[in-house]
Amino acid sequence: MTPLRLTYLALAIWGTIHPMYWFITWFIQNEWSLMAMVDAWHANASTTGLVWDLTIAAVTLTIFVLVETWQRRRFIGLLAIPATFCIGVSCGLPLYLFLRSSPK
């Protein structure tokens, strides 16, 4: 495995563990309320801007993954889409780059 692929893999793992630590901590403190999380995302203009920034990045990544999958016929890359929306762009993007960079 090349150093670049190892870097992508390490970033995908970090992009899973680090944000999930904070999400789980928040959920424990707020009785696992998904609606409270959505409310917190829109607590002020700064958090609302960040939510939109990440949403646009996630949609862009999804379109890119779909187009690349269609062109390359390497369907393993589709795993990045649920990773992006269930974990975050911090996992989905490096995961896709890791999967995309694998030898055929």
Share the mean pLDDT of the chain: 96
Domain count, the chain: 1
Mean pLDDT of all residues in 63-73: 96
Please give the full DSSP string across 6-30, using - where no structure is assigned.
HHHHHHHHHHHHHHHHHHHHHHHHT
CA–CA separation, 52 and 47 (whole Å): 9
Q: For residue range 10-48, list pLDDT tens digits in order.
A: 999 999 999 999 999 999 999 999 999 999 999 999 999
Q: Look at residue 82 in the predicted model and tell me its pLDDT.
A: 98
- pLDDT number for residue 39: 94
Task: Give the residue numbers spanning the domain of 78.
Answer: 3-101
Instruction: Identify the pLDDT of residue 103.
Output: 86
pLDDT for res 59: 98
Distances in Å between the Cα of 88 and the Cα atoms of 1, 2, 3, 70 are: 25, 25, 24, 23
